Structures are given as structure tokens and as C-alpha cells.
Amino acid sequence: MHYPLLLLNHDWHSQRAKLRQGRVRPPPLVAAGLDVTLSDEQGRELKLGGLAVIFGTFPASLDEYAQMARLRLNLEPEQARELDPVLNTRVLAMWAWLPSMQRDCYLEYDRATGLEHAWLIGPSRESVEIDFEQPHPDLDRAFLEALVLNGPGHWGGATGLERLITKFGRLPLLVAAQIADLLEHRPREPRKALRAAQALWSDLSADDEAPWAAMSGSEHPWTCVQLGRLALRLGLLRAARLLLSSTNAAIEATPVAHFDLGQACEALDDLPAAAAAFARFASARPNDPDAWRRLLFCRLRLGHLHVAEETLRRYRGCGGKDSELAERWLGVVSKSRLRAEQRSLLAGWLGAHLHEAITNQVVLEGLIDEIGKLRFDGAIEALSAACTRARGDLLLRLPEDSDAIAEALVRTALLSLPLLGQGHRDEAILSPEAVAENVVMALNVWSDIRLQGSLRLTPHLPWLREVAVLTQQAQRHG
């Protein structure tokens, strides 16, 4: 039995042990240089020659791992020169993180003797020596899996993946990596990724969700993640949700899958699950404005107005712009089939918080014209007259010089109506009373934020009834 030259209680080992125990993913590949000296006074003395994280490369098997050590990590000369303190030592020590085993494979290669020894270490500091004379199929699978899970930077692109498939066969993880690569580089062509998937799973199609759903639980979690992401882009929403939501462990290594799970759940009207998925993505990518934007919309649609304040703060804190948020919201209003109450909450809350951005983007007359073209066959006189009466009534209820506020309130009322976008498929055509109540909800939310609640409206105002009746007529003819 051999023991590591670098004892397991050394700081370099201890740092990785803390990461393993804390369930933090250690750097995938790390190399260190060690020199051994012998003297009559000190006996054997170990001198440390430097420690470096090795990027962009990872062995696909135990033998490749040992070969990397022998060939100075397969580095180009210029890269190798930068690592002289590591590579110009007698012993090259290496740690390779194997996520499926939750262990490090620690190797020491002695250039003086040409011998290598390796140990599996962890999850704590326990170690097991590896016998290079014996086959290790489980360990080889763990190395190949780690290579795939380390991400695209290690695959060598489409060409590198083809080489891996030639060497190891069309394994599910490698095909899943091809899918991920195509989704990254050909996002608008999901059928190319589908063809790659069909080379292994021939029964998958863009028309039938059943074969996709059957994959959940039968393949590696990371493979299910990539299949779920592809299913989402093919419009197979239920299969996408099932594949993505059953693979939490793999998603931790693939944060974008949280985002895709959120999109699938949101499209299926499963807003609590969508909000939870977007929250996990935002936690993993806290500097991504898109994460906070999607989470904000979900929380508002759920009526979680208090926590939405913090979500908006986080969006702005990582560089999100109000103008872009307003533009995305207007896109949601125009394209999504929102429930009436959700539309009103979005109109009132976002209209108030994004007042300046909305004012810069939406002119009231232009909004009336657009609604007229979409819903009234261009005959907008009745709607325009109702908006004029609404503005006059609001001016009577507001302090002097409140033209801008009155206009913002009329704009908020229009954006709370299902006139720019279709109503929700599960809701019948709303009665005028229901329409009026939803408009009032939006206006009172706006007033609570911008006017400290000093303006309170009721659904019985004549202009509100007029707008509500026009909305019902437009829905029936739509």
C-alpha cells in the first residue's frame, strides 16, 4: 500500500474537503508541484512548488488522467511556461473532481521513477488507493460524466463531441451534450437538436409528448435536463416540465435549466412552480437581470406585491433598466393570455413603478389608436370619447395641475383591459361589472403607490361602465 506524499491533513487537501462537505462544487481539475529532498538531519522533506486550477481540459477516463500527468497536462508550450512552478518539479500532484461519486481522484506522478499512484478521497478525508493494474469501469464512467458535466468549455465543440462519440460510442450523456451544444449555438433551430436526439432515441418526435415523458427517471438527470430544454423549444410543455422538474440534482450544475423550467411552468399557468424555478435561477445567477424580471412578473401575477418590491430592487441592482422592463411588460400585455386580475395587477403596480419609462414609451393617443385597430376595426371614436370623459372625471378628483397623472391613470386603465392581448382561455367573456372591478383594482394599486392612496375609485363611475361595455363588445367581436 502506498500513501500520498502530500498528507491528507495538508491545507490543499483540507480546502477541497471543506468544499465537498459544504456541498460546493470544487474546481474540476487542479495541479500542484511537489519536490522531495532527503537529508541526514531532516529526513524526507516535501517542498511545495505551486498550485493552479487547470481550465478547459479534463480527462475522459482514468488512463487519460494518468496520461495527462505524464504529458505535462497536454498544455501548449506557452501555457506550460506559465505553470513552471508546477511542471518543473519532481512530482506532479492532481485533483480531479468526480461529481457522480462526490469524491476527488487524487494522483501523484513521480517523474524521477515514472510511477503514478492515485486515491479516491472523500466525501470527507477518507481515502482508497486505486490499483492501476485492474480495470475500473465505474471510475471511467465517472470521469466521462465529469467531463460532460464540466460544461461546453471542455467538450471541444461539435467536433470534440464527435471525437468522444467515435471513441466511447453514442452514449446518452454524449448525445445530450450534442443537444446542449446545438441549443446553445442554433437556438432558433430546435429540429437540428431533435435530429441529434433521434440518432439515439428514434421514437422522439415534435408531435407526441409521451415518449419524452417516458424518459423522465430512466436516463441520467443531466440527460433529462437537456431533453427537457429541447422539448420546451419544440412546444412540448408538459413533457418539458416533467423532465426538468424531476432532475433537481442535475439542475444545480445547469442553472439555465431552472430558467427553462420556469418558462414551461409559466406557459402552463403553473405560476407557483414557475416563481420557484425563477427564484432558484436568480439565486444561481444573481447578476442576471432576466432572472429577476421573470421572477417579478410571476410574483405580481400571483399577487405577491410586497415581495415584488425587493424583486424590482434586485433587478435594478444588477443593471436592469426600467425602459427594458417596460418594453418586456408591454410585450406580455400584447402577446400573453393573462387572467383579468393578473393583467390589472401588472398594469397598476408596474405602471406606477415604471411611470417615467411607460410615459416615454406609450402616448395615450397612440395606445387608443392601436387598440382601435386591433379591436374596433379602426372605429375608435367611442373608445376615444370614453377616455376623454375618464380624463375629465379624474381631473376633478385630483389636485390642480394633474394632467400628467390623469393621463397616466387612463393609460393604466386601458392596459388593464383585455384589448391589446387576448383574454385567458379559461375565462369566458367578462361582464361589464367584472371589467369595471378589474380596472378599479389597477387604478387603486397605482394610486396606493404614486399618490399614497389619496385617490380611491369605485366601479360605478359612468365612464368606467362605458369602457367596460365597449370592452365586452370588442371581446365578442374578437
Residue 144 lies in a domain: no
Say if residue 117 is in the same domain as residue 211: no
The predicted pLDDT at position 253 comes to 59
**Helices 256-267/221-233 angle, 10° precision:** 50
pLDDT tens string 275-318: 999 999 999 999 999 999 999 999 999 999 999 999 999 999 99
The predicted pLDDT at position 448 comes to 95
Say if residue 295 is in the same domain as residue 340: no
With cut-offs at 50, 70 and 90, classify the pLDDT of residue 217: confident
Say if residue 113 is in the same domain as residue 192: no
The predicted pLDDT at position 1 comes to 77
Taking 3-state DSSP, the helix, strand and coil percentages for the chain, each rounded to the nearest 5, stand at 60, 10, 30
Say if residue 87 is in the same domain as residue 220: no
Maximum C-alpha span of the chain:
103
- Which range of residues forms the domain containing residue 78? 11-135
- The grid cell for 289 is 437581470
Residue 298 lies in a domain: yes
| 3-state DSSP assignment of residue 51 | strand
How many domains, in total, are found in the chain?
3
Residue 321 lies in a domain: no
Say if residue 289 is in the same domain as residue 352: no
With cut-offs at 50, 70 and 90, classify the pLDDT of residue 266: very high
Residue 318 lies in a domain: no
Give the C-alpha separation, 242 to 254, whole Å.
16
**Which one of 276, 311, 346 terminates a domain?**
311
Question: Could you give the angle at the alpha carbon of 363 between the alpha carbons of 358 and 366, nearest 5°?
Answer: 130
Asked which of 202-206, 229-233, 329-333 is least confident by mean pLDDT, the reply is 329-333
Say if residue 72 is in the same domain as residue 111: yes
Residue 304's CATH number: 1.25.40.10
**Which one of 280, 296, 311 terminates a domain?**
311
Beta strands in 68-180 (DSSP E): 91-98, 103-110, 115-121, 127-130
Say if residue 473 is in the same domain as residue 369: yes
Q: Above 60 in pLDDT, residue 84? A: yes
Q: Are 333 and 343 in contact (CB under 8 A)?
A: yes
With cut-offs at 50, 70 and 90, classify the pLDDT of residue 247: low
- The grid cell for 70 is 505524464
Terminus-to-terminus CA distance in the chain, angstroms?
81
Residue 233 lies in a domain: yes
With cut-offs at 50, 70 and 90, classify the pLDDT of residue 337: confident
Contacts with 369 (C-beta within 8 Å, 6 or more apart), sequence order: 380
Residue 317 lies in a domain: no
Say if residue 307 is in the same domain as residue 362: no
Q: Above 60 in pLDDT, residue 250? A: no
- pTM equals 0.88
The predicted pLDDT at position 43 comes to 65
pLDDT tens string 315-335: 999 999 999 999 999 999 888
Give the C-alpha separation, 66 to 64, whole Å.
5
Say if residue 193 is in the same domain as residue 159: yes
Residue 141 lies in a domain: no
Say if residue 257 is in the same domain as residue 348: no
Residue 174 lies in a domain: yes
Say if residue 304 is in the same domain as residue 160: yes
**Which one of 104, 135, 166 terminates a domain?**
135
Say if residue 117 is in the same domain as residue 230: no
